[in-house]
Amino acid sequence: MSRTKLVEALERLAPPTPAACLVLLWSYYHPELPAVENDLEKAGISLRRPGRLSPGRSLADCTAELRSLVGQDVEFDQFALAWLKGLDRALHHNLLPKRLEGTVFEGIDGKRYLLCPRNNFIAETFEERAPLSTWAANQGPSMAEYVPHIVVQPVETPGGAFNVTLLTDWCPRHVSRLLKVRERGRLRIMMWPLATDIEYPALDQLRDGPPPAVLSLKDPRNEQALAAEVEAALREAAKQKVTILVFPELAIPPGIYARVRALLAAQEGDSHPLLTVLGLCHACPPGGSADVNEAVLLGPDGTELHRHRKLTRYGMKTGYPCGEGTETGLEIHILLSPIGNLALLICLDLLHKDVVRVITDSVANVFLVPSLSPSTGAHRDRATTLCADQLASTFVCNRWLQDAGSTATSFYRVPSREWGEVLHLPADTPAGVQPEPYLLFEL
C-alpha cells in the first residue's frame, strides 16, 4: 500500500483524533515493519527508540508534514513511526479514556479495530527492574516497540476462524484482591503437573490390540488418589499465597471439580489461590453429541469465572497413540484483569496457525495453558515468539500418559532472560530421585 494512500486516509479524518490516527498508522506499518526497519537500518537509522515530536504540534500539522515527505521514503517512515509512538504515549497518559471503550476505528486496510490498554503487568515490572531494550533489540521487528502502551485489537479475526471476546466484567471482590497483588508487586503463578498417573479405563484399549481412532479420557479408576494430590496442591498454593494455580489438561473429573469448588468456597478471609485453572476430563455436555475438552477458571471462592473449550484436537501422529474425537470451540476469551490480559488456551491451541494469527494481534499478554503432550518443544518455541512479538508471558502446565514415558516439561517464559521448567514424573519414581511437585514463578 502506498504512502500517498496513508496520507489521504489521514486527511479524510474529520476531525482527526489521536485514536483514529494511531489506528491508521498502526494498520499501515503492522504488515510492513520488517521491510521498513530493514530500509531504515540500511540508511543508518535506528528507530527502536524514536525521538519525541516537538510538543504542541497538532494532528493536522503532523499530517501535513507526512504529505511533504511522501517522495522521501526513509524520512517519511522515520517521521511516521516517531508520530505513532507519540500518539501511543498521549493516549497512555490520558489513560485511554473510558469513552473509547467499544469504539470501532477503521484501519488503512479497511478492517475494523478496537483500542485497549496493553496492561502488561509482568513486562512492566521487569522493565522497572532491568530495562528490556537490550533483550528486545535482539528479537526482531515488533510493533510493541512503537506502540508499547496501547493494543490495536482486530474486531474480526482472520478468515473468520475464531472469535475473540474481551471480558471486563469481574466481581468487585476479585478485582480488589488482584489490584492488591499489582500494588504490592507480588505475583505468584504455580504450575502443578501432577505426579499421580491418571488411570483412564479407555487406555486399556491401547494394550489389548490396535489403537482405536479416538479415545475418551474420563472416569479415572484412581480418582481418590488423584483427589488427594489435587487437595495437597490447593493447600500448598494457600500456604505460599499463590495468585494463579494451574493444573494440566484432561486431569480433573467432575467429582474432583466439585470438590475443588467446595474447598475454595469454604475458605475464609484472605484466601489463596486467587485464580485456579483446571483442565477437565473429556465430557459430553448436556444436549451435546460429542465430548468436549475444556478448562475452567475459578475465583478464590470457587466461582466459575470462565470456561474455555479447546479450539483444536490432537490426531494419530508421532507421539500420540490415538486421536481426540471432540467437538471444538470457536471462542478465544481475553480477560482484562489488574495483573494482565489473561487468555486460557489448551495444549495444541498454542500451536495452531489460525489461533496464533489471532492471539498475536490481540491484547492478550498472559497465556495460561493446561497441556497433555509427549513433547513441549514446540510450545516453548511459540512462547518465545509470543514473548518477542508482544512481550507476552506463557505458563504451560504439562503432563503425559501413564507408561508412555516423556521428557516434556511444564515451563514458563516471561519477558526477561528467565526460564523456568519442571519435569512431570510419576508417583512411583525410583528412590533417590527427588522430583519437584510444582513449578513456581514469582515476580
Strands (E), 244-379: 244-246, 275-279, 294-298, 304-309, 331-337, 340-344, 366-372
Judge whether residue 395 has pLDDT over 60: yes
Confidence band, pLDDT 50/70/90 cuts, at residue 296: very high
Confidence band, pLDDT 50/70/90 cuts, at residue 192: very high
Asked if 153 and 113 count as a contact pair (C-beta separation under 8 A), the reply is yes
Point out which residues pair with 304 in neighbouring strands.
Answer: 298
Point out which residues pair with 335 in neighbouring strands.
Answer: 167, 342
**Cell (9 digits) for 366:** 498472559
* Closest by Cα among 116, 89, 91 to 102: 116
Delimit the domains of the chain by residue range.
3-117, 166-442
Q: What is the DSSP letter of 394?
A: E
Q: What whole-number distance in Å separates Cα of residue 27 and Cα of residue 3? A: 12
Helix, strand, coil tally for the chain in percent (to 5): 35, 20, 45
| Mean pLDDT of all residues belonging to the chain | 85
**Which has the minimum average pLDDT: 9-23, 140-154, 169-183?**
140-154
Asked if 313 and 328 count as a contact pair (C-beta separation under 8 A), the reply is yes
**pTM for the full model?**
0.85
Q: Which superfamily does 166-442 belong to?
A: Carbon-nitrogen hydrolase (3.60.110.10)
**Cell (9 digits) for 176:** 480488589
Say whether 64 sits in a helix, a strand or coil: helix
* Cis peptide bond prior to 254, omega within 30° of 0: no
pLDDT tens digits, 28-67: 999 888 888 888 888 887 665 544 555 568 999 999 999 9
